[in-house]
């Protein structure tokens, strides 16, 4: 599917009453910002625990890392909205974004996004050079590699997009310990491998919308059967990753493995289901709970190192 293919005629956005603040939160994709802040904090907190550095004596690093990463993620999300403003009207999920309705004009969005990214990077570089560089890598991978290059061209767009989603814990870790340890890369791999089955489940539910917008998501190009096989493979790839964090103890390994077995169970059920969309919703919800429980447990178990 090439970038030059025809996009379906968008439906005129509904006129709805919304506040500027709500539009702003939609512009920066506050849900994505919040979830990435959790993984950034996990990387940062785990680095403190693994390096025996005092958390309370380095609160400045916490603020630099969290606020800085939050700003660059918000800025990158706003740029993504700006880049996608021609295809967002086609999809029900995105047709009311402020860049589509016109509540935020392109010059204002660009100025806001760049300001957030610049200020965020200043804060990250204040924590450490490595944190700032990883922040730049995250912005580049999301805005350029994913949004501008792969999203409309390649069925592997989800995998390319997973790179940026896996960088926040590296930013958090690098703020404390610039020389990333094995724990940092374990968090990166968990985040990277978690994302394809998570987003494929969403893509299955929105297949017709992605098809209308001419986005070559896996379910659109290869179909549901192929997507289910890919989701199963990615879930299986998660199984060895908790053992990269053996310092967290047997309790963590048992919990993480139980979560993986649960996701594997639901993935296998997909090959017998009669309602693919209902199954995809179940997989999507499980993936959200999986990530929340896993990262919270990493923080809790790290307290007993």
What is the radius of gyration, based on Cα positions, of the chain?
20
User: Average of pLDDT values for 100-115?
Assistant: 94
Could you say which DSSP state residue 273 is in? -
* Nearest 10 degrees: Cα torsion 287, 288, 289, 291: 80
Number of domains composing the chain: 1
Structural domain includes residue 56:
yes
75 in Cβ contact with 112 (< 8 Å): yes
Write out pLDDT tens, residues 34-58: 999 999 999 999 999 999 888 888 9
- Give the pLDDT band (50/70/90) at residue 93: confident
Structural domain includes residue 269:
yes
172 in Cβ contact with 47 (< 8 Å): yes
Write out pLDDT tens, residues 67-85: 999 999 999 999 999 999 9
- Give the number of C-alpha atoms closer than 13 A to the C-alpha of residue 108, restricted to the C-beta side: 9
Write out pLDDT tens, residues 211-235: 999 999 999 999 999 999 999 999 9
C-alpha to C-alpha distances, 257 to 66, 70, 106, 236, nearest whole angstrom: 29, 30, 46, 11
User: Average of pLDDT values for 95-102?
Assistant: 88
Q: What is residue 1's predicted lDDT score, i.e. its pLDDT? A: 38
Structural domain includes residue 87:
yes
69 in Cβ contact with 197 (< 8 Å): no
Structural domain includes residue 248:
yes
Residue where the block lists tokens 């309790």: 251
pLDDT at 5 over 90: no
Structural domain includes residue 1:
no
Q: What is residue 17's predicted lDDT score, i.e. its pLDDT? A: 53
Structural domain includes residue 11:
no
- Give the pLDDT band (50/70/90) at residue 4: very low
42 in Cβ contact with 69 (< 8 Å): no
pLDDT at 8 over 50: no
Burial class (CB in 10 A: 0-12, 13-18, 19+), 279: buried
Structural domain includes residue 95:
yes
Q: pTM to 2 decimals? A: 0.91
> Residue 90 sits in which domain range?
20-302
Write out pLDDT tens, residues 21-38: 999 999 999 999 999 999
pLDDT at 100 over 80: yes
Structural domain includes residue 68:
yes
């Amino acid at each position: 599917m090439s970038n030059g293919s025809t996009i379906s005629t968008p439906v005129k956005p509904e006129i709805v009453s919304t506040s500027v603040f709500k539009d702003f939160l939609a512009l920066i994709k506050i849900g994505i910002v919040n979830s990435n802040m959790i993984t950034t904090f996990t990387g940062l907190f785990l680095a403190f625990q693994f390096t025996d550095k005092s958390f309370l004596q380095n609160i400045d690093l916490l603020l630099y890392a969290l606020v800085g990463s939050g700003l660059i993620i918000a800025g990158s999300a706003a740029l993504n909205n700006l880049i996608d403003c021609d295809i967002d009207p086609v999809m029900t999920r995105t047709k009311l974004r402020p860049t589509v309705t016109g509540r935020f004009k392109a010059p204002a969005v660009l100025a806001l996004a760049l300001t957030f990214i610049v200020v965020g990077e200043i804060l990250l570089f204040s924590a450490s050079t490595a944190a700032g560089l990883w922040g730049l890598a995250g912005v580049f991978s999301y805005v350029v590699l994913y949004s501008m290059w792969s999203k409309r061209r390649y069925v592997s767009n989800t995998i390319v997009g997973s790179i940026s989603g896996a960088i926040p814990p590296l930013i958090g870790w690098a703020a404390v310990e610039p020389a990333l340890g094995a724990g940092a890369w374990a968090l990166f791999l968990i985040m990277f491998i978690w994302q394809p089955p998570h987003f494929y489940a969403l893509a299955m539910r929105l297949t017709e919308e992605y098809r209308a917008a001419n986005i070559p998501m896996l379910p659109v190009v290869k179909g549901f059967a192929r997507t289910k096989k890919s989701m199963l493979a990615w879930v299986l790839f998660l199984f060895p990753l908790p053992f990269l964090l053996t310092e967290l103890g047997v309790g963590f390994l048992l919990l993480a493995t139980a979560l993986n077995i649960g996701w594997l169970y639901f993935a296998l059920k997909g090959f017998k289901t009669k309602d693919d969309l209902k199954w995809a919703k179940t997989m999507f919800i499980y993936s959200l709970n999986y990530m929340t429980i896993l990262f919270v447990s990493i923080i809790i178990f790290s307290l007993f190192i």
